[in-house]
């Protein structure tokens, strides 16, 4: 997030209101949100009612474009 200057609020917004959602291994979820700079991909897991963000990356292509 620091490298791409992604605000924490954008990561939270992607989780709360994603444009696309994918299931991953070990109960991880990828939440995709379109932004002005491309697609924001947030990988997270819910543990005991707590959402733990694993990675946040900015991608040029979205989930359907790969």
36 domain residue, yes or no? yes
Q: Is residue 37 part of a domain?
A: yes
Residue 42 lies in a domain: yes
pLDDT digits (tens, 9 = 90+) for 12-61: 999 999 999 999 888 999 999 999 889 999 999 999 999 999 999 999 99
Q: Does residue 52 belong to any structural domain of this protein?
A: yes
Residue with tokens 């924490």: 8
Q: Into how many domains does the chain fold?
A: 1
pLDDT above 70: residue 66: no
**Confidence band (pLDDT; 50, 70, 90) for 1?**
confident
Q: Residue 45: which domain range?
A: 8-59
Calculate the alpha carbon distances from 39 to 25, 35, 46, 49, 53 in Å.
21, 6, 22, 27, 17
Q: What is the pTM of this model?
A: 0.90
Q: For position 14, what pLDDT does the model report?
A: 97
Residue 65 lies in a domain: no
What tokens does 12 get? Answer: 């939270």
């Amino acid at each position: 997030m620091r490298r791409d200057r992604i605000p924490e609020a954008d990561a939270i917004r992607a989780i709360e209101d994603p444009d696309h959602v994918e299931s991953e291994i070990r109960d991880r979820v990828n939440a995709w949100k379109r932004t002005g700079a491309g697609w924001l991909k947030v990988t997270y897991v819910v543990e005991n009612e707590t959402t733990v963000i694993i990675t946040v990356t900015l991608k040029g292509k979205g989930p359907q474009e790969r």
